[in-house]
Amino acid sequence: MNAYSFTELDGLNLALFLALLVGLASPLGLYMAKVYRGEKHFLSPMLGWLERALYRVSGVNPRDEMDWKGYAWALVLFNLMGFVLLLGLQMFQSVLPLNPQGLADIPFPLALNTAVSFVTNTNWQAYSGEAAMSYLTQMLGLGVQNFLSAATGMAVIVVLARGLSKKVSRDLGSFWVDAVRSLVYILLPLSLLFALILVGQGVVQNFGGYLEANTLEGAKQVIPMGPAASQIAIKQLGTNGGGFFGLNSAHPFENPTPFSNFLQMLALLLIPAALAITYGKLVGSVRQGWAIFAAMFTIFLAALGISQWAEHQANPLLGGLPFLEGKELRIGIANSSLWSVATTVASNGSVNAMHDSLSPLGGGVALLNIMLGEVVFGGVGSGLYGILMFVIITVFIAGLMVGRTPEYLGKKIEAREIVLSSVAVLVPCVLILVFSAIACRVEMGLSSLTNKGPHGLSEILYAFTSAVGNNGSAFGGLNANTNFYNYALAFCMAVGRFIVIIPALAIAGSLAMKKTVPPSSGTFPTDGGLFVGLLIGVILIVGALTFFPSLALGPFIEHLMLPGGKLF
């Protein structure tokens, strides 16, 4: 056993992480259910005034409800306004305040890509934060969108839960109320608490100019500063992932200690995991939420096990040592692998190691996690409404097996729901494959590669998978700051986000108008182990069958060539 083997301490670290994730999901999930139901909770006396003030300032009557179309229009308008604001901040940051370094305006293609990225909760970064974005752009633009895009995803899962629980009604609540409650009672207090902890761990939070130091060799080194801790907190809790610094969570100013590393890994899965319990409570059966949690957790454990094994294998090009390239030794292999799996199942996209340097199989696991539709925990809200599309398809398949009309939570699943669910599941797959194929055929796509062969294919495939899946992580060997990739990835991020949201809202409206059918002896239970197994099978089959050829030509063949000492 060498110093880089998987140790007992690594095992205890993983066990503690998993135990806390499961243990915190229930209390946080039940609390969030109270928030969305408008019930009193322990933060109501402290923050109720802020909720009411936001309604008065915006002219919103919290008692007014919307049908699914009104909800969708409000959501799209809200996100469009955020997009315009963020685009403007970037393109005029040189003349705006809080720019002590005098950073230049962001060119339009990159500004467009970044604005779409942060509005869609993708947080793809084709730039280095400390070298490109002013403090004002980081805070008012990127930081604010970290909150708003997360609140958007959380609102969608709430309205979908209402559609399943309501009885013959067009009213699905108010988008403005759901978004405000997500911000005031969940995202803001958790982020404030987390930011204070991060500052205590050494994450920087200031408005000073960059410092200049002399190295032992006599060279000048610029040390970036800035209000990082506040953005790091919401980037993890909101499954955003966009780093304040270019190195993201591998940077010591973003992630300085083992404790900060552990907390950030836990934070990026915390709300998505808890929302499964929230969903169960909102639809009237916590067991339904735990069944979905069990499906997510099972796939997560399988991905984590494969990744840990692959990253600890001997690399023939490193004298038999494990895959150390691209990893911070202070963080270690086990934590780098855990983060790579957690961030790709969670639609977070933050990284504490270079995914381009993962083992072929470890990189393939990260890629496949996103290809499954970002439904294994996924983004805050988006992972849950994404997996519910698979739940509807699974219920339909189960109905065919027992020979009766499919039902889910007493609502009949008919042609409209199946078509909408299929669109939400399959269109993102088509986008990934079509745009990856185009990039592999045109010089504009190939000219950005630093690696050839199967690894180069993986880099291109990962970029479009990450964009469509609204993940935001990348194989760093691809230079994405070109006009081709800025425009193509921006299109994929926007369609990938809203091609799932709009069908989900339409399904909510359709189900809300249906009568609830009481369960009978022929009803297929959706809160037991059999359904969990069937749901996992449907998720894996869709991902495996759709993407197996491309995975075989990329990470799989690279893995098989590894014993011969061949890397790309």
User: Rounded distance, CA 432 to CA 436, Å?
Assistant: 6
User: Rounded distance, CA 514 to CA 510, Å?
Assistant: 7
User: Rounded distance, CA 434 to CA 448, Å?
Assistant: 18
Residue range 95-127, pLDDT digits in tens: 999 999 999 999 999 999 999 999 999 999 999
pLDDT at 83: 97
- CA distance readout (Å), 348 to 46, 179, 280, 513: 30, 20, 23, 34
Provide CB contacts within 8 A for 245, sequence distance 6+.
Answer: 128, 129, 130, 224, 228, 251, 253, 254
Type of residue at 155: A
Residue range 309-337, pLDDT digits in tens: 999 988 887 777 888 888 998 999 999 99
How does DSSP assign 479-508, residue by residue? ---SHHHHHHHHHHHHHHHHHHHHHHHHHH
What is the mean pLDDT of the segment spanning 44-57?
Answer: 96
What is the mean pLDDT of the segment spanning 173-182?
Answer: 97
Residue range 372-430, pLDDT digits in tens: 999 999 999 999 999 999 999 999 998 887 777 789 999 999 999 999 999 999 999 99
Please state the three-class secondary structure of 531-558 as a single string.
HHHHHHHHHHHHHHHHHHHHHHHHHHHH
Mean model confidence pLDDT for the chain: 93
User: Rounded distance, CA 382 to CA 246, Å?
Assistant: 26
The number of beta carbons lying within 10 Å of the beta carbon of residue 543 is 21
- CA distance readout (Å), 15 to 10, 262, 295: 9, 12, 19
Reported confidence tier of residue 3, pLDDT bands at 50, 70, 90: low
User: Is 50 exceeded by the pLDDT of residue 63?
Assistant: yes
Share of the chain above pLDDT 90, in %: 83
User: Is 90 exceeded by the pLDDT of residue 74?
Assistant: yes
Residue range 513-523, pLDDT digits in tens: 999 888 877 78
Task: Specify burial of residue 539 (Cβ count, 10 A radius: 0-12, 13-18, 19+).
Answer: buried
The answer to whether 484 and 441 are in contact (CB under 8 A) is: no
The answer to whether 357 and 340 are in contact (CB under 8 A) is: no
User: Is 70 exceeded by the pLDDT of residue 363?
Assistant: yes
Predicted TM-score of the model (pTM): 0.95
User: Is 50 exceeded by the pLDDT of residue 43?
Assistant: yes
- CA 417, 420, 422, 424: dihedral to nearest 10 degrees? -130
pLDDT at 400: 83
Residue range 461-505, pLDDT digits in tens: 999 999 999 999 998 889 999 999 999 999 999 999 999 999 999
pLDDT at 1: 47
Question: In 377-445, at which residue ranges do the beta strands (DSSP E only) sit?
Answer: 407-408, 411-412
Q: Alpha carbon 536 to chain centroid distance?
A: 19
- CA distance readout (Å), 343 to 240, 256, 297, 438: 10, 18, 14, 27
Q: Among candidates 386, 379, 408, which has minimal Cα distance to 510? A: 408
User: Rounded distance, CA 229 to CA 197, Å?
Assistant: 9
Residue range 422-458, pLDDT digits in tens: 999 999 999 999 999 999 999 999 998 988 889 999 9
User: Is 80 exceeded by the pLDDT of residue 567?
Assistant: no
Residue range 126-158, pLDDT digits in tens: 999 899 999 999 999 999 999 999 999 999 999
User: Is 70 exceeded by the pLDDT of residue 244?
Assistant: yes
Length reported for the chain: 568
Q: Among candidates 25, 19, 16, which has minimal Cα distance to 290? A: 25
